[in-house]
Amino acid sequence: MIDETPGEAAVGSVFDPERPESTYLLEPELVAPLVARISSSQSAGTHRSTCPFTGGPLATIPVSSSADVTAAVERGRLAQRVWARTDLSVRSRVLDNLARIVLVRQSEVLDLIQLETGKARRSAFDEVGDIAQVARHYAVKARRYLSTDRPAGMIPLVTGVRVQRRPVGVVGAIAPWNYPLTLVLSEALPALVAGNAVVVKPDPQTTLTALWAAEALEEAGLPAGLFQVVAGGRETGEALVDAADHVAFTGSTEAGRKVAARAGERLVGATLELGGKNAIYIADDVDVDTALPGVVRACFASTGQLCLSAERIVVHEAVADEFVAKLVRDVRNLRLGAGLDYTADVGSLTSAAQLTKVSAHVDDAIARGAVVLAGGVHRSDVGPYFYAPTVLDDVPSDALVAREETFGPVVSVTRVRSDDEAVAVMNDSEYGLHMSVWSGDTARARKVADQIEAGSVSINDGYVLTWGSVGAPTGGWKASGLGRRHGRSSVEAMTQTRTVVTARGAGRGLGIETVFALEGAAPSRILSAALEGMRKLRIP
């Protein structure tokens, strides 16, 4: 049965400025068993997370020292040896169970996600839906992704080739705060089903959600030691990069470069999912009313703190006036709110730092001549970090908001005269994560999509269908990342191949050594004839 009970904390009523401790919104009985799961010797101090809805304290989290991280990786390595030999059907069943559990227990984790990130519940549900999707996908497809390949050998028939996939060992997953359930699990699940152990380092602000994921995986049947959580910030992350056998990093481009360099020193793999400056193109044959709900969601879901969300709208001048007028109307109608229920469309920014950055980007654009069509103000009347969904026009190309990732509820509009101009504007960015193209003519939209420099392009959809198509790779071009996530890509990144080649018939005089044993130029002549024959027969 799915527990659809809305969260118990009506956030506004719990906050009591006379009693600061009352802003610990979560019951200690709920927090204590979660926090007890952290791999920490309690020697490295604590971190106090903040509830974005109130600005008050949410939980006190013991930080993991470098030694704690190393110990967690070692524990993982021991557990992994047994797990890698455990039948794949057992490993897959854990994921299948998780896909069910995350739906059944959704109200608990939705509360945690909202309280840690400040996002609206409908955006929090994106994460629940995503994990149900990813877990089911790998439960079903793992056998195919992990199966032994049998490519053609050097000499047909007498060379047998088997390419096996084996887990790398312990995967270190480092995640940001914006999608705290999705981003601790979406790489961990393919890692686990492939026979790895995982040590996760969530952002300090969103540790509780990661701990809930650990609890849910245990309920799903995952043996101890295979999914551990270490807590802390950059230093804890660095210790994990120094110990893991593969690093799955999601976060900023700046930190991603450092993680890649560190992993490179150790010659361990790193997949990097980084920042973006995503754009939406609205062609002149679009039905504006049909497109708008998806466009608005693409810009403001998760308060714009979503790696795939759009911060630039490029609109054909023929529909620009109608589109912009209706966009502004719909954006002004978005409901902001802090409730643990489905009444709000848009929630809070996650931290004071995010509020500072978003305000700075908007103020800079205004100072350079941009026009605010909607929003552009801090909504402290709703909560300390709320910022009104914002639409900017006439943004000059040297404004921060034109080039840098804002990571907030701010979108700027640019008018173009043709598809070619739209492609040029969209590609004019150091980033290349995700773009979307909206047109009444799918063939035309595909032609535009084919010229986009990004890891994914949605047609007539903001991001939902692309992110949810978990069998297909996603990731970034340019400064948006390295490596790919989802589908076969994640499994390939977190396994290593072992190629076993058998000389068939060697004992019966049919092997290559029989040819090499011949005198003089005979071996070269025979091999030359064989190679030419294989070329003519188009043998791969």
Active site residues: 273
Q: Does 355 bind ligand NAD (CB under 6 A)?
A: no
On whether the CB atoms of residues 142 and 491 are closer than 8 A, the answer is yes
255 in contact with ligand NAD (CB under 6 A): yes
Cβ 213 to ligand NAD, closest distance in Å? Answer: 15
Smaller CB distance to ligand NAD: residue 80 or 466?
466
Closest CB 305 distance from ligand NAD, rounded Å: 7
**Contact status: 237 vs ligand NAD (CB under 6 A):** yes
Single out the residue of 109, 274, 310, 482 in contact with ligand NAD (rule: CB under 6 A). 274
The three-point CA angle 439-443-448 to 5° equals 65
Which residues ranging from 447 to 476 are in contact with ligand NAD (CB under 6 A)?
A: 476
Count of positions on this chain that bind ligand NAD (CB under 6 A): 30
The one-character DSSP state at 302 is: G
CB of residue 455 vs ligand NAD: minimum separation in angstroms?
9
- 49 near ligand NAD, rule: CB under 6 A: no
Which long-range contacts link 156-162 to residues 24+ away (Cβ below 8 Å)? 156/534, 156/539, 157/504, 158/503, 158/504, 158/505, 158/510, 158/511, 158/512, 159/501, 159/502, 159/503, 159/504, 160/501, 160/502, 160/504, 161/499, 161/500, 161/501, 161/502, 162/499, 162/500, 162/501, 162/502
Residue whose C-alpha is closest to residue 479's, from 295, 278, 290? 278
C-alpha torsion sign, points 260, 181, 189, 489: negative
d(C-alpha 408, C-alpha 286), whole Å: 26
Among residues 71 and 433, whose Cβ is nearest to ligand NAD? 433
Q: How far is it, in rounded angstroms, from Cα 525 to Cα 516?
A: 11
Pairwise CA distance, residues 268 & 152, whole Å = 29
Q: Is 168 in the site for ligand NAD (CB under 6 A)?
A: no
CB-nearest residue to ligand NAD: 237
Q: Is 177 in the site for ligand NAD (CB under 6 A)?
A: yes
How many angstroms separate the CA atoms of 308 and 345, rounded? 18
178 makes contact with ligand NAD (CB under 6 A)? yes
Give yes or no for residue 410 binding ligand NAD (CB under 6 A).
no
Looking at 73-81, 119-127, 231-239, 418-426, which segment touches ligand NAD (CB under 6 A)? 231-239
Binding residue (CB under 6 A) for ligand NAD from 127, 273, 345, 419: 273
- The CA distance from 309 to 303, in Å, is 9
Of 203, 345, 393, 492, which lies in the binding site for ligand NAD, with binding defined by CB under 6 A? 203
Q: Which of 241, 280, 296, 435 binds ligand NAD (CB under 6 A)?
A: 241
Tokens of 385: 């970090």
By CB under 6 A, is residue 332 in contact with ligand NAD? no
Is residue 126 at the binding interface for ligand NAD, with CB under 6 A as the rule?
no
The continuous run of DSSP H or E covering 297 comes out as helix 288-300
Residue type for position 452? I
Rounded Cα distance, 457 and 495, in Å: 28
Instruction: Kindly state whether residue 498 participates in binding ligand NAD, applying the rule CB under 6 A.
Output: no
* Binds ligand NAD by CB under 6 A, chosen from 358, 370, 433, 449: 433
DSSP 368: T
| The one segment of 46-54, 91-99, 170-178, 340-348 that binds ligand NAD by CB under 6 A | 170-178
Cβ 123 to ligand NAD, closest distance in Å? 13
- The residue (of 203 and 393) whose beta carbon lies closer to ligand NAD is 203
Phi, psi of 459 (to 5 degrees): -110, 125
- Single out the residue of 283, 280, 246 nearest to residue 433, CA to CA: 280
Q: Which is nearer to ligand NAD, 275 or 339 (CB)?
A: 275
Q: Are 286 and 436 spatial neighbours (Cβ–Cβ below 8 Å)?
A: no
> Does 156 help bind ligand NAD (rule: CB under 6 A)?
no
Amino acid at 59: A
* Contact stretch for ligand NAD (CB under 6 A) within 7-15, 130-138, 172-180, 392-400: 172-180
200 binds ligand NAD, rule: CB under 6 A: no
Dist. CA 127–CA 169, nearest whole Å: 27
Interface pick for ligand NAD out of 109, 112, 188, 259 (rule CB under 6 A): 259
* Segment interacting with ligand NAD, rule: CB under 6 A, options 6-14, 20-28, 107-115, 232-240: 232-240
252 near ligand NAD, judged by CB under 6 A: yes
Nearer to ligand NAD, 15 or 407 (CB): 407
Q: Which is nearer to ligand NAD, 286 or 410 (CB)?
A: 410
First to last CA, the chain: 53
Residue with smaller CB distance to ligand NAD, 7 or 62: 62
Burial annotation 30-53 (CB, 10 A radius, 16+ → b, else e): ebeebbebbbbeeebeebebbbbb
Residues interacting with ligand NAD, by CB under 6 A?
A: 174-179, 183, 201, 203, 233-234, 237-238, 241, 250-252, 255, 258-259, 273-276, 307, 405, 407, 433, 476, 481
